[in-house]
Amino acid sequence: MLLELSLPLINPHMAHASIDAILVRLDTKIAVGQTILELTVDLSDQFPHDCPPVSHYRLCACEAAWLRHLSIAAGEKVPVGALLAKFSKTPDEAVENRAGRPLRTTIVGVTREWQAW
């Protein structure tokens, strides 16, 4: 079965996110709990502050699957709902097939280290 991963709505005010890092490789099996990618949501254009509201997240797999296709690259800004990747339950499923359902994932908030001036 083919599964798809789209950018979820993490914050009700977000319109897009920046892909910081892709931590899995094509045609490899991801494990339950494995981080697939890291991303940043920047809401400073909607909520201007001296310290802009920027949040960092990890998108982690809640099921094992094979990464079959990537639609994004690190450094890219993508809109909410955009297709990020396709996965399959077997290593040889054709990626041209229609996805049966979304890949089960969880979103983990990450606190970045900061330095006091």
pLDDT digits (tens, 9 = 90+) for 51-91: 557 789 999 999 999 999 999 999 999 999 999 999 999 99
Kindly state the percentage of the chain with pLDDT values over 70: 86
Query: What pLDDT, on the 0 to 100 scale, is given for residue 46?
Result: 67
pLDDT confidence of residue 43: 77
Q: What is the pLDDT of residue 54?
A: 72
Tell me the CB-side half-sphere exposure of residue 89, using CA atoms within 13 A: 10
Residue 17 pLDDT greater than 60, yes or no = yes
Domains of the chain, start order: 2-110 (2.40.50.100)
